[in-house]
């Protein structure tokens, strides 16, 4: 199951993404925020999804803020999270195939809905290629271990 969250700036795009997931029969849990009126802090939502994925309660995550930058920085602070901010489908595919990204970050003020939904589809349909990429991805864990 996917975990999905946004701040107020990402709320409208998050609703479009959830509608799209519904149409495709892909299950998700919406961890907030629940409207675009109340200003909230994007680190809280990056952390929520990051922890859900790191704790394996959810397989993957999608996070959305205005640029996708702040919420992805927050998610990446959670050990085990590999959040990738993607602005095109090539980045989406490569973030899965090479980086084994477990969280997709989108910027609602940067890309349109159509592109965002294509990015979501590409990201969900791509898989990690392993092999030489695994050696590199394993180094993320080594870096994290240096700061325990």
Write each residue from 85 to 124 as x if it is in contact with ligand RB5 (CB under 6 A), else as -, in one continuous string: ----------------------------------------
* Tokens coding 113: 């809905």
**Residue 63 in contact with residue 13, Cβ under 8 Å?**
no
Shortest Å, Cβ 10 to ligand RB5? 6
Q: According to CB under 6 A, which residues from 5 to 24 bind ligand RB5?
A: 7, 9
Nearest to 132 by CA among 104, 94, 99: 99
Q: Tell me how far apart the alpha carbons of residues 39 and 142 are, in angstroms, rounded to a whole number.
A: 36
Contact with ligand RB5 (CB under 6 A): which of 46, 50, 61, 66?
A: 66
* 107 three-class SS: strand
Q: Which residue is nearest to ligand RB5 (CB)?
A: 70
Q: According to CB under 6 A, which residues from 23 to 42 bind ligand RB5?
A: 42
**Residue 9 in contact with residue 37, Cβ under 8 Å?**
no
The H-assigned helical ranges of 27-112 are 42-54, 69-76, 89-97
Q: With contacts defined by CB under 6 A, name the span among 64-72, 80-88, 114-122, 129-137 that binds ligand RB5.
A: 64-72
Q: Is 67 in the site for ligand RB5 (CB under 6 A)?
A: yes
* Tokens coding 131: 């092999």
For ligand RB5 (CB under 6 A), the number of binding residues is 8
Q: Which residues bind ligand RB5 (CB under 6 A)?
A: 7, 9, 42, 65-67, 69-70
């Amino acid at each position: 199951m996917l975990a999905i969250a946004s701040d107020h700036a990402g709320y409208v795009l998050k609703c479009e993404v959830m509608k799209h997931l519904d149409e495709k029969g892909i299950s998700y849990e919406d961890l907030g925020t629940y409207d675009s009126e109340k200003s909230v802090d994007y680190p809280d939502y990056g952390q929520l999804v990051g922890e859900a994925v790191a704790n394996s309660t959810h397989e993957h995550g999608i996070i959305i803020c205005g640029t996708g930058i702040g919420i992805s920085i927050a998610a990446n602070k959670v050990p085990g999270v590999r959040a990738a901010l993607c602005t095109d489908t090539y980045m989406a595919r490569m973030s899965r195939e090479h980086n084994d990204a477990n969280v997709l970050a989108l910027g609602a003020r940067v890309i349109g809905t159509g592109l965002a939904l294509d990015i979501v589809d590409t990201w969900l349909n791509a898989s990690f290629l392993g092999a030489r990429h695994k050696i590199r991805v394993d180094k993320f864990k080594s870096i994290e271990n240096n700061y325990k």
